Amino acid sequence: MTTFTYPVRVYWEDTDAGGIVYYANYLKFMERARTELLRSFGIHQNQLAKEQGVMFAIVSVNIDYLLPARLDDMLMITCTILSEGRASFAFSQDVYREQVGGDLLTRARTRAACLDCATLRPRRLPDNLLQAIATQEG
């Protein structure tokens, strides 16, 4: 599977009083990377909700904070789909300083469930997403 990379600059709003990225903001950075990965497949979440009645919800996150990011750092967030089930898929996500191969700051594994917008019950992943994933794996 191809690893998707998304750049993020650290701004004042991302940091705590010490100028260090506040721990919860890494989750926001990772959310942006997952969203942009889907966009790179031509899949837009608002369109999925309107046209197919499905949405994604994060059901699990395992994260390790290894080194701090600081104000004005340029970060690279990676996102790789590890596996997909019938109604969920898992991601590996790493945060590097400045470039992939630079200092590894954070490592995470995330699982997203596909839900029916009306009932919030699990629903099969859309075929267009499964096809996009299969294309990337091949």
Measured between its terminal Cα atoms, the distance across the chain in Å is: 8
What DSSP state is assigned to residue 72? T
Query: Residues 14, 16, 72, 127: which is the catalytic one?
Result: 16
Residue with tokens 């191809």: 2
Q: What's the CA gap between 115 and 126, in Å, rounded?
A: 11
Residue with tokens 């590996």: 92
In angstroms, what CA-CA distances link 113 with 46, 73, 83?
16, 32, 12
Tell me if residue 14 is catalytic.
no
Which residues carry out catalysis?
A: 16
